[in-house]
A = this chain, B = another copy of it.
């Protein structure tokens, strides 16, 4: 299959690995790109020098294209961008901010720019900003998320009817069946996060990877909407947040409860009870930790098998 997404990134399969804080370093990005997808280094949890090291290591590990995911709210973003230019990273996915801010600048430097959105208003902003493609991410996705709670199943067709640029679906996609569903809805590629957290090459702590395998439906929750909405796996910290809500906390009280470094504590250091464990609803159907290449191979196999099993009505 060749489509606008595989051509845009020069990849074999239209599967993009989500750039995820604490989970997607160079090992995962390089493994995904080597296997024919598009790997992304998640810059949101990296100091500038750490990002530079990860980019350099990824370049050594694969000749195939990979990119960097850049949350636009990151405080040292200008340093990040300079490193991306220095290291000639060909693809940047921006998220959590206004696509107009950096798109023209990055595109002038020859970089392919993709922006992540969760509603049609921002899809139109992306169009005006001149991005090369859009990731539309639904409510079921792990980690930070939109406030409108629009699910992937209804978001993708809505964005598709509004815009005609290449469209990648995200949120709830970790299998060939879900990938086929996304393509049926009008997406031309998928971004996969949670499934790759539970991969051999993910930099998530082993405790967190194993905890994902225990998740069932209803075990994640979108919370802390007054700060930045985030979908978390149930644990003592999430219970503490829920208990705090009973007393109607102010935004400041929530920020104080969250504190600093909780995502690192949970996902990278493996503190399953006091850390934040960012994961999507699709965790309920993740049952093994596999090498990224195998995850991709399984998705493609299931995609083709499912497509063949469907008949006209």
Contacts and interface: CB of A to CB of B under 8 A. Distances in A.
B154 A282 contact: yes
Contact of A157 (B149, B155, B175, B221): B175
B151 A216 contact: no
A127 to B, nearest CB: 15
A151 B153 contact: yes
Contact of A153 (B149, B153, B157): B153
A151 B177 contact: no
A307 interface: yes
7 contacts: A151-B153, A153-B181, A155-B217, A158-B217, A181-B181, A183-B310, A184-B310
Nearest to A146: B218
B221 A149 contact: yes
Most buried by B among A216, A303, A313: A313
- In the complex this chain forms, how many copies of it are found? 2
Given A158-B284, A182-B181, A306-B184, A153 B150 contact: no
A13 interface: yes
A140 to B, nearest CB: 4
A113 B285 CA distance: 28
B150 A281 contact: yes
A150 B155 CA distance: 15
Nearest to A245: B248
A218 B119 CA distance: 7
A218 B307 contact: no
A222 to B, nearest CB: 7
